[in-house]
Homo-oligomer: A and B are copies of this chain.
């Protein structure tokens, strides 16, 4: 995880979105002149589902959860927002509304960049447009996989998958601070918090993980992979 530090400019930002590398110096300068910073405390909402989508958001530091507010305002956590990611839902291009909410889990520093500017860059820079397309595709592909795993895997498989995601993608370590509550882990894997507790205990019982109150250690990663893949 990347710590807190002042943001100076886009030109040499080390947490910039990958696709910004397609921009010319002038374009990058334009972005830099038209970005707005904001810092959020844990629990605060960065983007609200349904609100007009005027800006894309980038995290400079911290972690946030991306979630859909579904029926009876039951949440569904789509994934985590990290530095270097573009945060811009599919709804933006379609109905100019955010199709999901984003809330800070840690202290989060952000840059807001107007969607109009993004659109202008798409229009004038082909490589940037292609990068945008790729980014959206990758996200879409991830959601497809989620769809399959949620409908076809049983609870242990879904929990295993979530733990591997934290270990491989978010923290890049076999031991990490479980930043989500059991309730939230349930919102991510589509199960009740009580079931999350039970499955974690079961995984602990079979020597696959070590599940502390807010810290998780993966002991047998191969086994965890197997559980995730077998479903």
Chain A: residues with CB nearer than 8 A to chain B?
68, 70-72, 74, 76, 78, 89-94, 99-100, 119, 122-124, 126, 129-130, 132-134, 136-141, 143-144, 146-148, 150-153, 190, 231
Known A-B contacts A90-B140, A144-B99, A151-B190; A130 and B122 likewise in contact (beta carbons under 8 Å)? yes
* A70, chain B: closest CB distance, angstroms: 4
Copies in the complex: 2
Report the separation of the CA atoms of residues A195 and B109 in the bound assembly, to the nearest whole angstrom: 48
Report the separation of the CA atoms of residues A132 and B132 in the bound assembly, to the nearest whole angstrom: 11
Residue from A129, A137, A150 having most chain B Cβ neighbours under 10 A: A137
Using Cβ atoms and an 8 Å threshold, which residues of chain B touch A136?
90, 133, 136-137, 140
Report the separation of the CA atoms of residues A90 and B70 in the bound assembly, to the nearest whole angstrom: 24
Known A-B contacts A122-B130, A136-B136; A144 and B74 likewise in contact (beta carbons under 8 Å)? no
Which residue of the partner chain, among B78, B94, B141, contacts A137 with CB atoms under 8 Å?
B94
Report the separation of the CA atoms of residues A139 and B133 in the bound assembly, to the nearest whole angstrom: 13
Report the separation of the CA atoms of residues A90 and B143 in the bound assembly, to the nearest whole angstrom: 10
Using Cβ atoms and an 8 Å threshold, which residues of chain B touch A152?
70-72, 74, 76
Known A-B contacts A130-B123, A137-B94; A71 and B144 likewise in contact (beta carbons under 8 Å)? no
* A145, chain B: closest CB distance, angstroms: 9
Report the separation of the CA atoms of residues A139 and B147 in the bound assembly, to the nearest whole angstrom: 14
* A86, chain B: closest CB distance, angstroms: 13
Known A-B contacts A90-B138, A94-B134; A147 and B76 likewise in contact (beta carbons under 8 Å)? yes
Can you report 10 residue pairs joining A to B where beta carbons are below 8 Å apart? A70-B151, A71-B153, A90-B138, A91-B141, A119-B130, A124-B126, A129-B129, A136-B137, A139-B140, A140-B140
User: A100 and B144: CB pair below 8 A?
Assistant: yes
Using Cβ atoms and an 8 Å threshold, which residues of chain B touch A130?
119, 122-123, 129
Which residue of the partner chain, among B93, B133, B137, contacts A91 with CB atoms under 8 Å?
B137
User: A68 and B148: CB pair below 8 A?
Assistant: yes
